[in-house]
Amino acid sequence: MSYKNILATIRYWDNMTAKWLMRHFYFMFFQIILVAIFLVWFVNMFNVIDSSYQVPETGTATEHILAAQSINMTIVVLLILLNSFWLLFIFSGIQRIGNLLKDITYHLSRLRVREK
């Protein structure tokens, strides 16, 4: 194996390792953070719903409005968390398509150089 082939192989594996880290590590890191936030919210949601149902039937109108509002806010927070997961999935797909296009361009350019 020549010196150029060894360096090309090292560059190739370095590039593949960096791609793997960029493709998987950061998205897994943000997914873990989002799952932790979701679990904290999920546990807190049970406390909110429990306190909402403890409002007596003869309670004031303000208590009933606040109970309904707390449940509505938990729904909004759930939708925002689900939207964050969806955006993370979309960004991951965009990055993978970009990396795929770079790989295709790289291999096509190598084929053009070989043909000359």
> Tell me: the pLDDT tens digits for 53-100?
777 777 788 877 887 788 788 888 888 888 888 888 888 888 889 888
Q: Which two tokens stand for residue 88?
A: 């993370």
Q: Answer yes or no: is 8 within a domain.
A: no
Q: How many CB atoms lie within 10 A of CB 13?
A: 10
Domain assignment present for residue 9? The answer is no
In a domain, 19, yes or no: yes
68 in any annotated domain:
yes
The answer to whether 82 and 35 are in contact (CB under 8 A) is: no
> Is residue 10 pLDDT above 70, yes or no?
yes
pLDDT for position 77? 85
Q: At residue 52, does pLDDT exceed 70?
A: no
Mean pLDDT over residues 91-113, rounded?
A: 84
| Structural domain for 57, as ranges | 14-88
**Residue 35, domain member (yes or no):** yes
Q: What is the pTM of this model?
A: 0.54
Q: How far apart are CA 4 and CA 2, in angstroms?
A: 5
Residue 62 lies in a domain: yes
* Number of domains into which the chain is organized: 1
The answer on pLDDT for 116 being more than 70 is no
**Residue 80 is assigned to a structural domain of this protein:** yes
Answer whether residue 37 is part of any domain.
Answer: yes
